[in-house]
């Protein structure tokens, strides 16, 4: 698991501060507009801010993953509560027993006058429950920095002195005269930037592990609910650990790489597509140096001479083009990488939804962290089956059920699972079965009434 908590306060429908836990597989379900997507938006806002090619200010509010047009759209508001000018978002990383947290406090400028509408007013970093968190504000003076972080600075000085001695350079006043510090905004975060002229200009920032948080945010794979229309060709993309922008644009290039590698991934992909009864084969075909085409088999099973029976992905049903990014995301993701799937069930036949749960379980068992936002009772039941069949460890799975109170505030009811795949929380308000049973009952009653009347 990578992301173990998301922290929100005053953000959209999260009025009060909440720390929402995550596990290796986290399911987000519940009624429409209850806050499921909003819970993931802090991570996506940070991702799109970090991956912007130029500095968009503290948050890129209009990006490929989350789209706002005004800062106040991100803030909790309710009639009679007055205008809110601030919100905070944060996260906790848990990696190899080490827990690291950051919480960022944003404030809206009333009159931006061309400047970004948001400013970071505080950033709290913590990595050890025994030591006080590092609380940074932009107004922190150099003297205060040197006073508050004297130990860290001493360690830094010692390191620099050691390096200076090694390189036999003079270190006037033990290097201290060449060190300066200030609080700087690095995209969404406030960090302490140090500057030394000992070996020429050298910059450093702490907490040093802040870059680790940035690294994991940038690696998030986001497959949105709206995955766009299939394209005749896709732009050639460089495939690495990070996918900035729309993930679906990388799919053709990822498949092209798997084809070139002639490894297991292509087999896994075709097997997954066949299990989901979508197609027997997918192939990437490079049209030129800039464009890749996706070709797919028309049938579930190969026909005689079917090797040539491939058509452009736009010429088959939406089910395939919409689910391909999901399957590819689950297969391409690495251990300790977060894959966030929004409504993976869209356009999928129930059979395919059930088969998808096996792919999700496989990814989780490879060490990938998966967050699934869903309205599908089949996906939930498929995960419960995977737990009961011991394909998934119940300790790895968490379900958050979202609802809104009469003020519009998000309420989350959560449960872990027993070894039998049952909810450990007896108060879970999950209503998928209630709705389907009530519908079945009403239909059967109405149908038999009609039969009796005729």
Partner 1 sequence: MSGKYAIVIDTDVVRGATNNAKNRIFRDILLSFLETEHLLAISTPLWAEWFKQRDNPAGQWEYYISLYSYRWLTEMKSRKRVRRYDLDHTLEGRILSGIPRERTGEVKKDMHLVLTALAADKRIISNDQRERRDLQKAGRKFELLCDLVWPPLEQVCAWLREGAPQKDVFLVC
Q: Which residues contact 417 (CB under 8 A, 6 or more apart)?
A: 384, 387, 394, 397, 399, 423, 424
Residue choice 381, 403, 414, 416 for contact with partner 1 (CB under 8 A) = 381
CB of 422 to partner 1, least distance (A): 4
User: Beta-carbon neighbour count of residue 445 at 10 Å?
Assistant: 10
CB of 358 to partner 1, least distance (A): 19
Q: Are 103 and 124 within 8 A, CB to CB?
A: yes
CB of 437 to partner 1, least distance (A): 6
Report the residue number, 279 or 384, with the smaller CB distance to partner 1.
Answer: 384
Distinct helix (H) and strand (E) counts, the chain: 10, 19
448 interacts with partner 1 by CB under 8 A: yes
CB of 67 to partner 1, least distance (A): 36
447 interacts with partner 1 by CB under 8 A: yes
445 interacts with partner 1 by CB under 8 A: yes
Report the residue number, 246 or 423, with the smaller CB distance to partner 1.
Answer: 423
C-alpha to C-alpha distance for 347 and 344, rounded to whole angstroms: 9
Piece of 95-103, 147-155, 210-218, 430-438 that binds partner 1 (CB under 8 A): 430-438
C-alpha to C-alpha distance for 103 and 388, rounded to whole angstroms: 37
Residue count of the chain: 454
CB of 25 to partner 1, least distance (A): 16
Report the residue number, 143 or 450, with the smaller CB distance to partner 1.
Answer: 450
CB of 417 to partner 1, least distance (A): 9
CA atoms within 13 A on the CB side of 239: 20
Piece of 85-93, 207-215, 390-398, 439-447 that binds partner 1 (CB under 8 A): 439-447
C-alpha to C-alpha distance for 124 and 86, rounded to whole angstroms: 15
Residue choice 169, 174, 395, 424 for contact with partner 1 (CB under 8 A) = 424
Piece of 110-118, 214-222, 298-306, 421-429 that binds partner 1 (CB under 8 A): 421-429
How many chain residues bind partner 1 (CB under 8 A)?
25
Token code pair at residue 4:
């173990």
CB-count exposure of residue 147 (10 Å: 0-12, 13-18, 19+): exposed
Phi-psi region of 174 (alpha: psi -120 to 50; beta: other; left: phi over 0): left
User: Beta-carbon neighbour count of residue 303 at 10 Å?
Assistant: 11
* Binders in 172-201 for partner 1, by CB under 8 A: none
For residue 224, give the nearest of 326, 318, 135, 87 by alpha carbon. Answer: 326
Report the residue number, 303 or 435, with the smaller CB distance to partner 1.
Answer: 435
Token code pair at residue 320:
């395939």
366 interacts with partner 1 by CB under 8 A: no
Report the residue number, 365 or 430, with the smaller CB distance to partner 1.
Answer: 430
DSSP string for residues in 357-419? HHHHHHHHHTT-EEEEE---HHHHHHHHHHHHTTSS-GGGEEEEEEEE-TTS-EEEEEE-B-T
436 interacts with partner 1 by CB under 8 A: yes
CB of 445 to partner 1, least distance (A): 5
C-alpha to C-alpha distance for 412 and 38, rounded to whole angstroms: 12
Residue choice 105, 384, 386, 402 for contact with partner 1 (CB under 8 A) = 384
Token code pair at residue 39:
């819970």
CB-count exposure of residue 312 (10 Å: 0-12, 13-18, 19+): middle
421 interacts with partner 1 by CB under 8 A: yes
* Binders in 399-418 for partner 1, by CB under 8 A: 418
Residue choice 83, 110, 426, 454 for contact with partner 1 (CB under 8 A) = 426
User: Beta-carbon neighbour count of residue 5 at 10 Å?
Assistant: 16
CB of 433 to partner 1, least distance (A): 4
Q: What is the largest CA-CA distance in the chain?
A: 104
Report the residue number, 155 or 447, with the smaller CB distance to partner 1.
Answer: 447
428 interacts with partner 1 by CB under 8 A: yes
What residue ranges bind partner 1 (CB under 8 A)?
381, 384, 418, 420-424, 426, 428, 430, 433-434, 436-438, 440-441, 444-445, 447-449, 451-452
């Amino acid at each position: 698991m990578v992301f173990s908590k998301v922290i929100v306060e005053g953000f959209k429908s999260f009025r009060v501060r909440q720390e929402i836990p995550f596990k290796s597989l986290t399911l987000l379900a519940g009624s429409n507009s209850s806050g499921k997507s909003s819970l993931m938006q802090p991570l996506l806002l940070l991702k799109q801010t970090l991956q912007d090619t130029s500095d968009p200010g503290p948050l890129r509010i209009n990006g490929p993953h989350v789209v706002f047009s005004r800062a106040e759209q991100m803030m909790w508001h309710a009639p009679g509560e007055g205008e809110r000018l601030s919100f905070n978002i944060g996260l906790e990383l848990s990696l190899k027993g080490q827990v690291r947290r950051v919480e960022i406090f944003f404030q809206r400028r009333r009159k931006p006058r061309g400047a970004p509408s948001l400013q970071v007013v505080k950033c709290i970093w913590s990595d050890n429950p025994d030591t006080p968190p590092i609380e940074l504000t932009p107004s922190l003076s150099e003297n205060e920095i040197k006073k508050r972080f004297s130990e860290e600075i001493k360690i830094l000085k010692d390191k620099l002195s050691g390096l200076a001695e090694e390189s036999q350079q003079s270190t006037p006043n033990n290097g201290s005269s060449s060190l300066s510090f200030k609080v700087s905004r690095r995209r969404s975060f406030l960090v302490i930037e140090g500057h030394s002229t000992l070996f020429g200009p050298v910059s450093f920032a702490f907490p040093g592990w802040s870059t680790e948080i940035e690294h994991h945010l940038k690696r998030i794979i986001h497959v949105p609910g709206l995955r766009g229309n299939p394209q005749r060709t896709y732009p050639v993309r460089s495939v690495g650990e990070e996918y900035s922008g729309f993930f679906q644009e990388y799919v053709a290039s990822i498949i092209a790489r798997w084809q070139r590698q002639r490894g297991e991934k292509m087999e896994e992909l075709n097997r997954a597509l066949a299990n989901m009864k979508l197609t027997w084969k997918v192939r990437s075909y490079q049209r030129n140096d800039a464009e890749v085409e996706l070709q797919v088999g028309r049938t579930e099973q190969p026909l005689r001479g079917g090797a040539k029976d491939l058509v452009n992905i736009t010429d088959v049903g939406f089910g395939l083009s919409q689910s391909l990014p999901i399957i590819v995301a689950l297969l391409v993701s690495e251990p300790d990488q977060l894959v966030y799937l929004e409504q993976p069930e869209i356009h999928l036949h129930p059979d395919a939804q059930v088969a998808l749960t096996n792919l999700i379980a496989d990814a989780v068992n490879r060490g990938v962290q998966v967050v699934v936002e869903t309205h599908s009772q089949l996906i939930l039941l498929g995960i419960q089956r995977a737990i009961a069949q011991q394909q998934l460890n119940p300790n790895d799975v968490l379900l958050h059920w979202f609802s809104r109170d009469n003020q519009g505030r998000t309420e989350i009811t959560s449960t872990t699972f027993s070894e039998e795949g049952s909810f450990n929380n007896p108060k879970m308000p999950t209503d998928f079965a209630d709705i389907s049973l009530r519908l079945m009952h009403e239909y059967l009653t109405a149908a038999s009434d009609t039969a009796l009347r005729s």
